[in-house]
Amino acid sequence: MKAIHVLNGPNLNLLGTREPEIYGRTTLADVEQRLAQRASSREVELVFRQSNHEGDLVDWIQEAAKAGAGVVLNAGAYTHTSVALRDAIKGSGAQVVEVHLSNTHARERFRHHSHIAPVAIGTIQGFGVLSYDLAFDALCALGEANKKS
Ligand code: CA2
Least reliable range by pLDDT among 24-28, 40-44, 61-65, 142-146? 142-146
Q: What's the whole-number mean pLDDT along residues 9-29?
A: 93
Each residue's pLDDT tens digit, 48-86: 999 999 999 999 999 999 999 999 999 999 999 999 999
Which structural domains are found in the chain, ordered by start? 3-148 (3.40.50.9100)
Residue 102 CA, closest ligand 1 atom number: 1
**Alpha-carbon separation of residue 117 from 23, 24, 75, 112, 123 (angstroms):** 21, 24, 11, 11, 7
**Which residues are 48's β-sheet partners?**
6
**Alpha-carbon separation of residue 102 from 15, 89, 115 (angstroms):** 12, 22, 17
The residues lining ligand 1, judged by C-beta closer than 6 Å to any ligand atom, are 11-12, 14-15, 18-19, 23, 74, 76-77, 79, 100-102, 104, 111
Q: Given this model, what pLDDT does residue 102 score? A: 96
CA of 63 relative to ligand 1 center, distance in Å? 24
Report d(CA 77, CA 140) in Å as an integer: 26
CA of 142 relative to ligand 1 center, distance in Å? 27
- Which one from 23, 78, 115, 132 is the annotated catalytic residue? 23
Q: Please say if 23 is a catalytic residue.
A: yes
Confidence of residue 18 (pLDDT cuts 50, 70, 90): confident
Rounded to two decimals, the pTM is 0.96
Each residue's pLDDT tens digit, 93-116: 999 999 999 999 999 999 999 999
DSSP-derived letter for residue 45 is E
Q: Is the pLDDT of residue 119 over 60?
A: yes
Q: Given this model, what pLDDT does residue 147 score? A: 67
Q: Is the pLDDT of residue 149 over 60?
A: no
Report d(CA 127, CA 147) in Å as an integer: 29
- Which one from 5, 100, 115, 132 is the annotated catalytic residue? 100
